[in-house]
Amino acid sequence: MDFSRMCPKYESSIDIIGKKWTGLIIRVLLDGPKRFKDIKEQIPNMSDKMLTDRIKELEGLDIIVRNVYPETPVRIEYELTPKGKDLRVVIEAIQAWGERWMPAP
């Protein structure tokens, strides 16, 4: 790997994962499909609008899929696509790094 110059694919990847709240949403969904309120419960400091915006963004990038179940009332769940699930190793590596190097809150 050549670290002497910037790779456009790496830069694009960091732009996605490094965006505020995105990594947290992905981490929550690594546990399986979740409803909006369940995601919000695990990331309480994020506004509903921001969560909606990030979900739409991640849907557009084919990282998250929105599943609508025609029940009464209608149930909507979000889950990671195979592309999103591939981020597991990245998220786990960040978690391990944080546990090793970040001070306790």
Q: What is the CATH number of the domain that holds 17?
A: 1.10.10.10
> In the chain, how many domains are there?
1
Cβ neighbourhood burial of 54 (10 Å; 0-12, 13-18, 19+): buried
3 falls within a domain: no
Q: What is the pTM of this model?
A: 0.92
2 falls within a domain: no
Nearest to 78 by CA among 92, 58, 105: 58
Indicate if the pLDDT at residue 5 is higher than 90. no
Q: What is the pLDDT of residue 95?
A: 96
1 falls within a domain: no
63 falls within a domain: yes
Tokens of 43: 């990331």
Domain, as residue range, for 47 = 8-101
82 falls within a domain: yes
Indicate if the pLDDT at residue 100 is higher than 90. yes
